[in-house]
Amino acid sequence: MEFNAIYVIVAREFKKFVRERSRLFSAIARPLLWLFIVGAGISRLVPRDTGVPYTQFIFPGIIGMTILFSSIFSSISIIWDKEFGFMKEILVAPVSRLSIVIGKALSGTIVSTIQAVIILALFPILGFKLGILQIIGVILISASISFSISSFGIVLATFYESYESFSVIMNFIIMPMFFLSGAMYPVKLLPDILRMVSKINPLTYGIDAIKHVVFPFETGKMSPDFPFIIDIMVIILSSIIFVIIAGKSFERRG
């Protein structure tokens, strides 16, 4: 592994992220719209005695959404790099494909985690009181799920050559991943077939892990769906699998 190469791939992404203020703004605006508009509307439908208030229940989901979008967007920039030729500069360098993939995955991780932290800073406004350990826990889980989703995004990006495919990814991958992640409603309440799909979605386990940290004493309908240890194992395993697949698909020569 070439650490210089990994470092500079991450540094480039970070520099561009800081420069493009509009990207940061829209990345923060989207989850806020969901939180305050969709969340406020749906909360009226949820009986008050179900446990955690709905506006609080969707908070882990909103963090998950922030991570999902920014990680996939970050990785999808590989399609830009292919389209505009910059990818060739990286591919002809004496750098292993694994380093490129890890560099790209870490880029997505850093950018997403920063955004998750900004959303997390809004917790107190909703009347949440989180201990310092809970905050650290949420940040660590955010970082790991960001890495997994970013790696997944790289796998996607290696299969698509042009930007046209972006709307396909958006409509058929990102949106279903969001709705079937336990973000908006507990997975245990879904119909059987949808619950099965949720179970193969790595984001589900990331959001579930955050629920464990944020609502440690919840037991009813709104409680986490899987054991915490399972969540963590799935996040780690999926990261490894995606990185390996991405590395392999980068390896291909024509």
The contact set with other proteins (CB under 8 A) reads 2, 4-5, 7-8, 11-12, 15-16, 19, 83-96, 162-164, 253-254
- The residue among 21, 39, 26 whose CA lies nearest residue 69 is 26
Pick the closer one to other proteins by CB: 44 or 252: 252
Q: How far is the CB of 154 from other proteins (least distance, A)?
A: 18
Least Å distance, CB 92 to other proteins, is: 5
150: number of Cβ within 10 Å: 30
Judged by beta carbon, residue 90 or residue 119, the one nearer other proteins is: 90
The nearest distance, CB 176 to other proteins, in angstroms, is 23
Which residue lies nearer to other proteins by CB, 199 or 248? 248
Q: Rounded to whole angstroms, what are the CA distances from 61 to 162, 171, 187? A: 30, 19, 12
**Closest by Cα among 87, 119, 114, 85 to 103:** 87
Give the Cα separation of 94 and 78 in Å (integer): 19
Kindly state the smallest distance separating residue 34's Cβ from other proteins, in Å: 24
Alpha-carbon gap, residue 43 to 120, rounded angstroms: 20
Nearer to other proteins, 4 or 219 (CB): 4
- CA–CA separation, 191 vs 185, rounded Å? 12
50 contacts: CB under 8 Å, gap ≥ 6: 220, 221, 222
Q: Which residue has the tokens 């790099």?
A: 81
The minimum distance between CB 9 and other proteins, in angstroms, equals 8
Cβ closest to other proteins, residue 12 vs residue 195: 12
Q: What does 133-188 look like in DSSP terms, one character per residue? A: HHHHHHHHHHHHHHHHHHHHHHHHHHH--STTHHHHHIIIIIHHHHHTTTSSS-GG
Closer Cβ to other proteins, 72 or 141, answer by number: 72
Residue 30 CB, shortest distance to other proteins, in Å, is 19
